[in-house]
A and B are shown apart, each in its own frame.
Chain A
């Protein structure tokens, strides 16, 4: 049995360079993938590395360690820009899974239905990838390539997620639609973040939809509309052309046509909610 609990980054990278190890933090993806063959594959445990943990303020924003479990994100005292991410964290599986599952694992697992990805896309998150060659920083939207596909290169580890700061008065939210409460894989999910401009409109808008394409997608045309339109008028102008970035498939959870339709509904509702909240604020 080969299982290394790395105590330093260097040790982790050396093991990784040795090849053919699975990186494990919480274990919520590693163990189910074993199916009925009860042998743990060679694994590198990065959960003990301090640099992979915690949510910290940086000079230009925020840094979240890749092995930070959802539970820590839920329980952290974070500004409004993170409310969407925290709402997503509360929708991850169950309390038990939130305790084990990590934000970095959610990204690297690269499921189209990863709960953490849409809110991170609205945060313009970047990922810091370390290897023996150093560190490279990649926008999350570039890092995720497809179903179960990322730009993680051999010998690389996802160490942290970096997020630029946003004004305190921004609004963010997340909504997950599933066929049951708890322990459910999304049919569709939406995350959005807006910055009210003080006169009823929004000076910035980021809208992302998950589980409706191979990788969760930002709806940039819709974002442009929300920012450029006056006050609430954009709600009237939303149409299917704003959702062309999505290409939902039909599966056991729902049809593609359904996903397309409810994506629009969920987005519309979230923006309506922001308008009300923004007006109060």
Chain B
């Protein structure tokens, strides 16, 4: 028994190697593996045993390394994903299976999943689905919807064949997949140099509080190892940041008053152990004066509410509106009318990778390596805050462990950049889970009142929609939500007389921002539940009712936009029809004999415009041909797991006319890759895809011109050069004799595409989007009528994707989006101050996600590359209302608030006072 005055040293076996190292001050095995042995395949997602990303085998048994005392590893064996991949044939086989099944999207949960799966497979080589779920139940995944992970584990000995050349329509293995399944992927917190300083942000513990910062010099003096402190005084450029012109309102560091719990007021920078040992904000010299806060939109618009921003009377940040025809008159004339009030809460993105990165100063420039959805927006934001020119800021995106909208906004970037410019050492930071949940954006809570009328023969006649969205303390993407919702509130249906009005209200919560669907999933709940009201009143089958009113080619939208072609929603309903009929009769049969449970089947649909709303949002794609014949694709569309690296490359290769394997990809480093815009608004396949197609076509034309070949000629990349085959003739291109440009390319093609839209007038009339995608889901549920619990039994999802570029990735998007929709419907609600972790904030686990049948509909879009449409956000819009409608079909309970937790379902059934 000794007091360990000195740093204790341990020895154990790590992936078969004997290692000796120091125990970190946290005592966590995960920190020891990551920091002492650079075993970065052990991921930190929550530091509480809630997410399982840090799963390793300790003497062959899976443990969360974050809650395992490092001391207990002494003399034992630790295995991690990278070790299993390298040394265990089963690990390598499982990696192949993960790739072949598309079981890794962003890849941040993959280490935990694979390690947990190896433990299972060693004991049980051919596990059942139930055994597989039990084994993987401790690892959260936010991207995949788990189904492909289950497949990859159960079919590890029986891999599907790999597919073709990677042409459009095929499912090649994802191009960035190997590092994800092999444990070598570098995410935000994985790349910092050893000598980096650590930065932590000091945040407000109160929703609203005046504050005064005390004696910083004394604080630094009293804490050896703290190098410096940053406050607003250290911001050389703009003190505010944001994402939408006219709404740049979020302070880098709050001044005098903090407007949400988690708002930054200062940052401390210094040696890793010193900084991490601080108890913040308590150890920081600051005095707080808590003030009354407005937490909900009702409180925000109340007459006596504290005013958050001077120029926003009544805390109304912005409003949106679409008016077409005479909705009020149409509702008066309608034969039947349904109306309702609907409510949704904050929803947390809950990617398993908290925000992280590092920055360093290089000459008079700053380089930021961090996870992101929008490298060029980060570049612009950092340049503005630091008062630098754009070319002084270099953003090098790391792999991003999920984003779903929240990594569009800057998080760590400005703090890292400010600090890096003040010191000669690199500076790193990683948000804790709590910090990530407190301070980053959420899905907007909504209060929605809707009224919809129909004629007695079942045609929609009019609709009014009034939506209030809690946008939190700062704008973020709130204006986008306020604009997008009125445009989409009709759903993909013909509603000739329509009025939708929205407003975003500032409150004392973290900013609500972008989250997969920008408010449309919330509005779809209201509209689609009321459609079932109408179908019931009219005694029309819910699917038939929707099909009857579905938008068709040649129709006009509520924005008066003429959709000449590419409208595939009716095709979605038609594809679902046989499944619908079978499921409805199946549950009727089940319910005849059911005792404590009832089953139900629900349907809902959605649509979504791809790209910015009536604003330019070009993407540029650059490609080049080296003298040795190597084709380089500069792919700047941030791949946050959805598959842009593969899909954009497939489109480019198809246009160029070469196999996918001929390409070498260069990533989104802003020094070498042009701006492909942000990964949001389901725009990358359409917008960057079109730019890639144009770049491929341009490079093809330039290559063929070298040998005067016609457009039908075939381009054959060979080792060391390029051959062009035409009518039996072979041209071996003399690339070595051509001059190279500064980038080393003999040919280069830089092409830009911007979707053609037209501005909206004050009634929201115009052409907001060039391309729309369409979706309809069926959900079958079983409700325990005494407990109110809902289990989803299956989903059938029809998606009009225009042209499927990569079926496996498309299915991955659908399944992952549905899992998020299921969470929205049944369990997810972020409550500030209360659910700041992943055990009080629940997202679906592998045990909650049922099988999904994906039906891919191809109604080509005239603008999309090869007819393709976006998919990323469409995938969760119909899910929640389909589940709610299924609960109602099962029990009669009409749910108007999500999540439909067991107590709410029981209350809606009238069984709870």
Contacts and interface: CB of A to CB of B under 8 A. Distances in A.
Contacts of B25: 1, 38-40
A53 interface: no
Interface stretch (B46-54, B313-321, B809-817): B46-54
A95 B912 contact: no
Interface residues of A, number: 55
Contacts of B116: 95-96
Contacts of B848: 180-181
B3 interface: yes
Given A11-B1, A257-B913, A96 B786 contact: no
B834 A99 contact: no
A37 B23 CA distance: 16
Given A3-B69, A36-B435, A40-B27, A93 B4 contact: no
A96 B787 contact: no
B333 interface: no
Contact of B26 (A34, A90, A254, A258): A34
A2 B28 CA distance: 14
Interface string B830-845: 0100110101101011
Nearest to A90: B134
B228 interface: no
Nearest to A97: B49
A1 B8 contact: yes
Interface stretch (B58-66, B411-419, B694-702): B58-66
B138 interface: yes
B811 to A, nearest CB: 23
B819 to A, nearest CB: 11
A31 B47 contact: yes
B787 A262 contact: yes
Contacts of A43: 27, 69
A177 B26 contact: no
A252 B72 contact: no
Interface residues of B, number: 77
A258 B48 contact: no
Contact of B846 (A14, A32, A182, A261): A182
Given A47-B72, A177-B902, A183-B839, A37 B67 contact: no
B912 A96 contact: no
A28 interface: yes
B143 interface: no
Given A37-B277, A96-B49, A180-B847, A45 B835 contact: no
Contact of B827 (A94, A100, A180): A180
Given A1-B7, A179-B902, A252-B831, A265 B787 contact: yes
Interface string A1-19: 1111110000100110000
Contacts of A31: 27-28, 47-49, 66-67
B845 A24 contact: no
Nearest to B596: A269
A187 interface: yes
A184 interface: yes
Interface string B33-63: 0000000000000011110100100100111
B138 A262 contact: no
B55 A96 contact: yes
Contacts of B47: 31-32, 34
Contacts of A99: 58, 61-63
Given A27-B67, A258-B906, A93 B49 contact: yes
A182 B842 CA distance: 10
Interface in B528-551: none
A24 B69 CA distance: 9
B827 A179 contact: yes
14 contacts: A26-B67, A31-B48, A32-B47, A94-B49, A100-B63, A177-B787, A177-B902, A180-B826, A180-B848, A181-B137, A183-B839, A257-B913, A261-B912, A262-B906
Interface of B: 1-4, 7-8, 23-28, 31, 47-50, 52, 55, 58, 61-64, 66-69, 71-72, 74, 116, 119, 133-135, 137-140, 276-280, 432, 434-435, 596, 786-789, 826-827, 829, 831, 834-835, 837, 839-840, 842, 844-848, 899, 901-903, 906-907, 911-913
Given A31-B27, A31-B49, 19 more contacts: A1-B7, A6-B1, A28-B67, A38-B26, A45-B72, A94-B49, A100-B68, A177-B787, A180-B842, A180-B844, A180-B848, A183-B137, A183-B138, A185-B840, A254-B902, A254-B903, A257-B912, A258-B903, A265-B786
